[in-house]
Structures are given as C-alpha cells and as structure tokens.
Amino acid sequence: MKSHELTIQGMSCGHCVSHVKQALDTIDGLEVEDVQIGKARVWFDDEKVVKPLIAEKINEAGYKLVSVQ
C-alpha cells in the first residue's frame, strides 16, 4: 500500500471533514490516515483501488476531488 494525498474542494468546516471521512471509509482497500479541510491522507494499493471510485464517493458526499498525489 502507498500513501496518497487527496486535494478536495468545497470543504469548509469540521462537519465537511466528517462527511468526507465517512465517504472514504466506504471504499474497500482504502485506509484513511487523516482528513482535514481541503485534503486527506489515505493509503491504498493503486492496483486495487481506482481513482475514479474515490472521486465518485467524494462527489456523492457533496465535494470535489481535485487531485490525487
């Protein structure tokens, strides 16, 4: 597994942080290390977790995934 930093648009408060964490927790094979306003640090295997799925879950929570590094 590899560490990745997600840049997320539309977050402005602790409630947003909670929503994003809950959304990321639903992805099998992805472990959430930390979520802060505008970003998250997660661990996942690039061969098992596809980035469009991460974007979809964040979008469903009401936010926009800007980048995955």
Task: Give the CATH number of the domain where residue 15 resides.
Answer: 3.30.70.100
- Give me the number of domains the chain comprises: 1
| Domain housing 27 | 2-68
What whole-number distance in Å separates Cα of residue 15 and Cα of residue 1?
28
Mean pLDDT for the stretch of residues 60-67? 97
pLDDT at 63: 98
What whole-number distance in Å separates Cα of residue 47 and Cα of residue 35?
23
Beta bridge partners of 44: 2, 30
Span 13-60, pLDDT tens digits: 999 999 999 999 999 999 999 999 999 999 999 889 999 999 999 999
Residue type (1 letter), 18: S
**Gyration radius (Cα) of the chain, Å:** 11
